[in-house]
Amino acid sequence: MKQFSVKIEVKLKPVVLDPQGKAVLNALSGLGFNGVSDARVGKIVELTMEGESAEEVSRKADEMCRKLLSNPVIEDSSVEVVEK
């Protein structure tokens, strides 16, 4: 069995309004950071997983996203797998 670092990024779909991102955008412009036209806030879940191959681990992580880590109605997810 090999060890893998798995990084899962979950973010709201582009069509879904992101109230948190909007607040961050307003705060940034309030602080004087000009030229920022959009801000979106997402989540990162980092896992340490065992498996035979990166493909197998990646498949498992995709299933985790569908079942729990993301809500496919409003969120997109992406998975990055690196062998330790």
Partner 1 sequence: MPSFGVLFFPGSNCDHDCYHAIKKILGRPCELIWHEETSLEGIDCIVIPGGFSYGDYLRAGAISQFSPVVSPLRELAARGVPVIGICNGFQILVESGLLPGAFIHNSSLKFVCRWTNVKVEDTDTPFTCLLRRGEVLKLPVANAQGNFVLPPDGDNTRERRIVLRYCGEGGEPTAEANPSGAEDNIAGIANSQGNVLGMMPHPERSFERVLGSEDGRRMFECVVSWIESRGRKSSGVTNLDPLVSSQK
Could you tell me the end-to-end alpha-carbon distance of the chain, in angstroms, rounded to an integer?
11
CB of 23 to partner 1, least distance (A): 5
- 72: tokens are 């496919």
Q: Which residue stretch of 15-23, 30-38, 47-55, 57-65 sits at the interface with partner 1 (rule: CB under 8 A)?
A: 15-23
Residue 81 binds partner 1 (CB under 8 A) = no
CA–CA separation, 2 and 81 (whole Å): 12
Q: Which of 1, 34, 52, 68: binder of partner 1 (CB under 8 A)?
A: 68
Handedness of CA 15, 10, 22, 35 (dihedral sign): negative
Which residue among 15, 35, 48, 52 contacts partner 1 (CB under 8 A)?
15
From CA 24, how far away is CA 46, in angstroms rounded? Answer: 23
Interface positions with partner 1 (CB under 8 A): 12, 15-20, 22-23, 68-69, 71, 73-74
